Amino acid sequence: MKGIIFDLDGVIVSTDQYHFQAWKQMADNMGIYFDEEINHRLRGVSRMESLDIILERYQGTALSESEKEQRAAEKNQTYKELLGNMTPDDVTAEVRETLQELRNRGYRLAIGSSSKNAKFILARIGLTDAFDAISDGENISNSKPDPEVFVKAAEYLQLPAEECAVVEDAEAGIQAAFRGGMKAIAIGSIREAKLTELELVTFSDLLRIFP
């Protein structure tokens, strides 16, 4: 293994509560029921696909494509305002130090995120320079579980897929890694699903997997 590709939301940093608050505000405005359990289904899923999941509970007339775009833009505006509260303190010392040590050991590191806000988030938390490449929602046409975001990340790192491992907190992301011919490492509650044999109890366990 020469390259490690990290999902952003749920792996490097947690923006889950901001996604929840922003979607909740949009759902409330439209009179749609929305809760934490539905929010959980949005992990790793693109913005427009997330909207479709929320609209499953919508009782009104079906939305046109432009109305959907408008609602998604409304959500993103609220989300970006909330992201504005993020600072480098939102990254744990464990994450920061582990990334640095992996680099010291010679691994090439990339971000592989479905988010179109990935670069904004990385800038807010002061981690842009911790990665050799960033592949995100801005450079893909198909989102996870399609492997495109990780295939592009490996390309940007100039490494073949089989020399890359992906760290993920969502089922869609783990499937995407496998479909891209990469190893998948699970972190967080998704470990319970036993989708992969490699897992991290805590982020710094990466230092045992990558000597």
**What are the catalytic residues?**
7, 9
112 binding Mg ion? (CB under 5 A): no
CB neighbour list of residue 58: distance below 8 Å, 6 or more residues apart: 30, 32
Distance CA(146)–CA(128), nearest Å, equals 25
Q: Is the bond preceding 145 in cis, omega lying within 30 degrees of 0?
A: yes
Site stretch for ligand B16 (CB under 6 A), options 43-51, 52-60, 88-96, 175-183: 43-51
Q: Which is nearer to ligand B16, 8 or 185 (CB)?
A: 8
135 binding ligand B16? (CB under 6 A): no
- Taking the complex as a whole, the smallest distance from the CB of residue 44 to ligand B16 amounts, in Å, to 5
If one counts every other C-beta atom within 10 angstroms of the C-beta of residue 31, the result is: 10
Among 42, 140, 161, 184, which residue sits at the site for ligand B16 (rule: CB under 6 A)? Answer: 42
50 binding ligand B16? (CB under 6 A): yes
Count the site residues for Mg ion by CB under 5 A.
Answer: 6
Q: What is the 3-state secondary structure (H, E, C) of 62-109?
A: CCCHHHHHHHHHHHHHHHHHHHCCCCHHHCCHHHHHHHHHHHHCCCEE
**CA geometry: angle 79, 81, 82, nearest 5 deg:** 65
Query: Rule CB under 6 A: which of 58-97 touch ligand B16?
Result: 76
Q: Which is nearer to ligand B16, 20 or 107 (CB)?
A: 20
Note the residue count of the chain.
211
As given in the structure block, the two tokens for residue 144 are 């996870």
**Residue 97 CA to chain centroid, in angstroms?**
20
As given in the structure block, the two tokens for residue 104 are 């010291």
Site stretch for ligand B16 (CB under 6 A), options 2-10, 94-102, 159-167, 176-184: 2-10
- Residue pointed to by tokens 């992201």: 83
> In the stretch 5-24, what mask flags binding to Mg ion with x, by CB under 5 A?
--x-xx--------------
- Residue pointed to by tokens 């089922």: 171
Count the site residues for ligand B16 by CB under 6 A.
Answer: 20
Query: Rule CB under 6 A: which of 138-197 touch ligand B16?
Result: 170
Among 38, 45, 154, 166, which residue sits at the site for ligand B16 (rule: CB under 6 A)? Answer: 45
- Taking the complex as a whole, the smallest distance from the CB of residue 10 to Mg ion amounts, in Å, to 4
The contact set with ligand B16 (CB under 6 A) reads 7-10, 19, 42-47, 50, 76, 113-117, 137, 170
The contact set with Mg ion (CB under 5 A) reads 7, 9-10, 44, 169-170
